[in-house]
Amino acid sequence: MCIVSITLDILGVGARGDGVAELEGQRYFVPYCLPAETVEAEPLDKRGDGIACELVEVLAPSRHRETPPCAHFGTCGGCALQHWRRDIYTGWKSELISKALAQRGVKAPRFEAPVGCEPGERRRADIVQRREGKRILAGFHERASQSVVDVATCVVARPRINAALAPLRSAMAAILRDGTSADAVVNETDTGLDVLIRPHRRFDLTLPIREALIALAESADFARVSWGDRATAEPVLVRRTPQLILGDVVIEPPPGAFLQATKRAELVMRAGVNAWAGQATHLADLFAGIGALSLGKPGRLSLFEYDKPSVAAVDAAARKLGGNRVTAQLRDLFRRPLSTKELEAFDAVVLDPPRAGAAAQCVELAASKVKRIVYASCDPASFARDVRTLQDGGYRLEKLMPIDQFLWSAHVELIALLTK
């Protein structure tokens, strides 16, 4: 079979981190390319309004191209932009936000470059483990593939997480059968690593598996090791209770809990909530997770979240505090957002939705009298859509701070203040 490659001039970098080119009226997406480069690429499949390609060779490199710090870059699907000079890459992330807001006609304040994070700061990792014959692979998926890249170290992960890779391989040799796989959801808490082993195919937690996990936790000094999916996770060994200290509140997160990717980003977001929510006497935290952005703030706090284990963790912490200063309620805000009437109880709201945003909730907020909304977003497009709704309801977007906690990825997060 003859493979036909084409020569392309890269015009820019798209929202997914791929180079974008046009030739004879057709758009092409080529990974690992930079603006103003000329490349040879092999067209593959249609993707959206263009054709996805495989990079064959960079014929004329950009002066902003750098040597990636990771030997697995280009194979591992975790990072997309290690080859781009840091200041130019950071500016591109700011442009993603500006373009998303402009497309929705959102009036936005000027904002600084993203608050950056450094290599070795990522405190959460989903490590894929697979047995292939006698080999145990532990690492991450290849780009656009279910194949596993076996890694000895990850340049963005915390040292404790990298130190766990070898013990995980050893333990999986006693657990996984040929062709089977499991995720290790690894969170670095304030008391050590909290590890959830999540098999891809259901099989029982037998005595040999339990013994292998206990040996793993003891040899690798894990705080806790658990087995199963998030909803039904069974702690196998708790050597130290996993804890996250949030102001005057100590949370014991459930196995596999969602954490902000870096401690630095979490502290920046918490500072934004503390400063921008003002002297709120009653704050609502919507899509609250385990309350990482709001717990510890003075005044009354009501958290709303659809994940049962997270609500249970916040509720347990609230009971230890005593009184009714902090409450947690299980609620699906996509299907049942807080109504305008319910919002009358709050003088400030924190929003931290998933990538889909909070369209239904923002319709209610737009019609409310809530004075301040602090919106933490992980997707500029859904954020822009929601802010357009809020601005149409009389809110002003006063402050915006981008945060680059997913280093060398195409993702950018932000925290913003809206007032009425």
**Residues annotated catalytic, as ranges:** 378
Closest of 55, 15, 142 to residue 411, by C-alpha: 15
Q: Are 222 and 234 spatial neighbours (Cβ–Cβ below 8 Å)?
A: no
- Report d(CA 13, CA 24) in Å as an integer: 19
CA separation, residue 237 to residues 201, 217, 227 (Å): 22, 7, 10
Question: 238 forms bridges with which residues in the sheet?
Answer: 224
- Report d(CA 185, CA 10) in Å as an integer: 37
- Report the C-alpha dihedral over residues 299, 304, 309, 313, rounded to 10 degrees: 0
- Report d(CA 346, CA 318) in Å as an integer: 19
Closest of 108, 79, 71 to residue 411, by C-alpha: 79
Contacts with 357 (C-beta within 8 Å, 6 or more apart), sequence order: 377, 379, 382, 383, 385, 386
DSSP 3-state of 307: coil
- Report the C-alpha dihedral over residues 270, 311, 213, 153, rounded to 10 degrees: -30
Burial of 49 (C-beta count, 10 Å sphere; 0-12/13-18/19+) = exposed
What is the maximum alpha-carbon separation in the chain?
A: 73
Contacts with 215 (C-beta within 8 Å, 6 or more apart), sequence order: 171
